[in-house]
């Protein structure tokens, strides 16, 4: 079942620092792809993590599926997070597990699939991204581009109701960007809401329904790509 995410007057500052996100209010509906565009260090990742309930806001509220996320019990929060997927910019793979075990971790934890099914679905994804040989490697032995691909597979494999893509194309080749675009479109057809930050102009134009810009922690522009005008932080040129 699709999930809607809504921010109401949400603010956030790291301990002792200035506000990184100021009074942000917007929503992402099921089947919609919202791209966050801003220069490096402007708070794109922080905003995504706030939307995923990974960082507690200093003000305002986060509504996930109509429920005020930070008023839920720890169990309720975990249940909602279980319905969302997050592809981390830093990949965030478990360091002491090889690639295969990293991908199998959530599937084994929930025990819904037999080991043979887990194996075949993971191998299919690894094959699709030409990563068959990397299955037994530890994350530290991989390049950042490959780690991001593994993180992408982990997100796509689980098939969640809302997806966060945090700069998944940072160290990516064209083939992977194209595959990522296909996956975003496929998820969109299923009615999955998605929040995206990317360095790929092509992926942005192909995938985003709306764009949001951050200016000094505040939302600068929120609307369709065509009306965005000149955007600081837009990859491959600033003029839309």
Partner 1 sequence: MLQAAISTSTNILERTGAAAGRYLSHLLDMSTLFLESLRAGLDKRRPGKRMVFDVAMNQILFTGVEAMTIVGVIALLLGAATIIETFSLVPDLGGDPMIGRILVVVVVRELGPIITAFIIIGRSGTAISTEIGYMMVNHEIQALEMMGINPVRYVVFPRIVGMSVAVFCLSFFFTIVALFGGYLVSRFIIQYPFMMFLDDLSRALGFWDVAVSGLKCFFFGIIVAVICCYQGFSVKFSFTEIPQVATRAVVWSIYACFAVNIIITAFFYI
Which chain residues interact with partner 1 by CB under 8 A? Answer: 14-15, 49, 52, 54, 74, 78-79, 81-86, 88, 90, 92-95, 105-106, 108-111, 154, 158
The pair of structure tokens assigned to 129 is 């991204």
Nearer to partner 1, 82 or 128 (CB): 82
Nearer to partner 1, 23 or 89 (CB): 89
- How far out from the chain centre does Cα 6 lie? 16
Smallest separation (angstroms) from partner 1 to the CB of 84: 7
Nearest Cα neighbor of 5 from 57, 68, 72, 55 is 68
What is d(CA 200, CA 206) in angstroms, rounded to the nearest whole number?
10
Instruction: Enumerate residues 6+ apart whose C-beta is below 8 A from 117.
Output: none
184 within 8 A of 156, measured Cβ to Cβ:
no
Smallest separation (angstroms) from partner 1 to the CB of 108: 6
Nearer to partner 1, 21 or 93 (CB): 93
Nearer to partner 1, 85 or 204 (CB): 85
What is d(CA 197, CA 180) in angstroms, rounded to the nearest whole number?
13
Alpha-carbon Rg of the chain, whole angstroms? 18
Smallest separation (angstroms) from partner 1 to the CB of 106: 4
What is d(CA 202, CA 14) in angstroms, rounded to the nearest whole number?
33
Smallest separation (angstroms) from partner 1 to the CB of 164: 8
14 within 8 A of 45, measured Cβ to Cβ:
no
Smallest separation (angstroms) from partner 1 to the CB of 221: 28
Smallest separation (angstroms) from partner 1 to the CB of 45: 10
Nearer to partner 1, 4 or 83 (CB): 83
For the range 129-132, what are the long-range contacts, defined as Cβ-Cβ under 8 Å and sequence gap of 24 or more? 129/153, 129/176, 129/179, 131/99
Nearer to partner 1, 78 or 232 (CB): 78
């Amino acid at each position: 079942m699709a999930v809607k995410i809504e921010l109401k007057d949400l603010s956030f500052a790291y301990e002792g620092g200035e506000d990184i996100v100021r009074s942000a209010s917007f929503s992402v509906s099921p089947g919609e792809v919202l791209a966050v565009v801003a220069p490096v260090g402007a708070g794109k990742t922080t905003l995504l993590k706030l939307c995923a309930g990974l960082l507690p806001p200093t003000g305002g509220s986060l509504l996930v599926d109509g429920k005020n996320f930070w008023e839920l019990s720890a169990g309720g929060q975990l249940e909602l997070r279980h319905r969302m997927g997050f592809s981390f910019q830093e990949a965030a793979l478990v360091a002491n597990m090889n690639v295969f075990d990293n991908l199998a971790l959530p599937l084994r934890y929930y025990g819904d699939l037999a080991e043979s099914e887990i194996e075949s679905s993971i191998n299919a994804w690894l094959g699709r991204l030409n990563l068959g040989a990397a299955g037994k490697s530890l994350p530290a032995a991989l390049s950042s581009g490959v780690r991001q691909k593994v993180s992408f597979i982990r997100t796509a494999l689980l098939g969640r109701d809302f997806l966060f893509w945090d700069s998944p194309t940072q160290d990516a080749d064209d083939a992977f960007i194209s595959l990522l675009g296909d996956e975003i479109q496929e998820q969109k057809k299923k009615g999955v809401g998605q929040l995206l930050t990317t360095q790929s102009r092509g992926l942005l134009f192909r995938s985003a329904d709306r764009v949001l810009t951050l200016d000094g922690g505040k939302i600068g522009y929120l609307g369709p790509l065509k009306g965005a005008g000149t955007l600081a932080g837009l990859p491959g040129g600033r003029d839309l």
